[in-house]
Amino acid sequence: LKDLLTGLVKSASFAWLITIISVHHGLNFSGGAEGVGRATTSAVVSSLFGIIILDAFWGIVFYLKW
């Protein structure tokens, strides 16, 4: 049961992070079609970096006993 709840919390937080980053990059792009491409690439890279950091955080919270 603990693993199920951990997975639900992590997946919900990853979805929230990806959504916030993508909306931020999408609403702040400029430069037409080329700007859309740059904003998309930037959003993907930022999301991947954020997921790595957030996963490390959840690993510390859920799996290490303090």
- For the stretch 10-27, pLDDT in tens is 999 999 999 999 999 999
Four-residue CA torsion sign, 32, 24, 20, 60: positive
Distance CA 35, CA 39 (A): 6
Q: What pTM was computed for the model?
A: 0.86
Average pLDDT over every residue of 43-57: 97
* Nearest residue to 27 (alpha-carbon basis) of 50, 7, 43, 5: 43
Q: Which domain holds residue 7?
A: 2-63
**Mean pLDDT over each residue of the chain, to the nearest integer:** 93
pLDDT of residue 65: 64
Domain count, the chain: 1
Confidence label for 66 from pLDDT (cuts 50, 70 and 90): low
Which residue matches tokens 């603990």? Answer: 2
Distance CA 33, CA 35 (A): 5
Which residue matches tokens 């491409």? Answer: 37
